[in-house]
A = this chain, B = another copy of it.
Amino acid sequence: MTSLSDAKQGQKKKLSLVKTLVENLRAAISSGDLAVGEKLPSEAALTELHGVSRTVVREAVAALRADGMVEPRQGAGVFVTRARPASVSPLQIIDNKRLSSVLEIIELRTAVEVEAAGLAATRRSIAQEADIFEALSDMEAAIASGQQTEPADLAFHIAITRATNNPRFEQFLTMLGLDAIPRAKLESGAAMARDAQYMAKLRDEHLRIADSISERDEVAARAAMRAHLEGSHARYRKIFRDSSQSHHTNS
């Protein structure tokens, strides 16, 4: 025991007792020594174990709670909620350069947006329906005027998630942000983006989704959204193939 004070004196001087205790606990949690859902030793036990006062223990727990790693419950104990600090959003580590990463994200989007389309079909309000069609016409306007279509595209999809009346769906898509609508224009799709045929197909897919939601046809809405995103997946997979081929011929 008194391992903390010893360690502290063993090192230079710095490291406050709280900081060392936080590091210890954090290590124990992320190493799985304290598994998710498990209960930490009680404050009394921690004071005993580490040879520090309750103040130190409480401040250390306060720090972990701020990280979202633990959650104390009065009368019950302190419980581990996450193995890693919540501050690092795992999905944020999207390597936009790698097309495989883009494909992975599209697949995850498919999961969420197909469900969103189905829920939107059953729950949408009149106003939300109008918003969807408005986003649709914005997109068409962007196509007609040759502007960037990505923001309008994203707005259309967000309008649908909003129509689920479950804010988490919109949060999810907003979190992905423009990463969700990959950079076709940038990578190699400059030609494709101006391809009238491609744009028409995109518009048609969107229209089909919007119509299904409008008609409260859940099954059709799901199918249309899935077709749209799987089409998108296929298109980017094609880009992947083409670019790697051209890469080969170049080298």
Residues of A within 8 A of B (CB): 18, 22, 35-38, 55, 58-60, 62-68, 71, 73, 76, 80-93, 96, 104-105, 107-108, 110-112, 114-116, 119, 148, 150-151, 154, 166-169, 171-172, 174-175, 177-179, 186
Contacts and interface: CB of A to CB of B under 8 A. Distances in A.
B89 A86 contact: yes
Contacts of A186: 73, 76
Given A76-B186, A92-B86, A111-B114, A104 B166 contact: yes
A105 B172 CA distance: 11
Interface of A is mostly: helix
A37 to B, nearest CB: 4
Contacts of A82: 177-178
Contacts of A81: 177-179
A184 to B, nearest CB: 12
A89 B38 contact: no
A166 B38 contact: no
B36 A154 contact: yes
Contacts of A178: 36-37, 80-82
A108 to B, nearest CB: 4
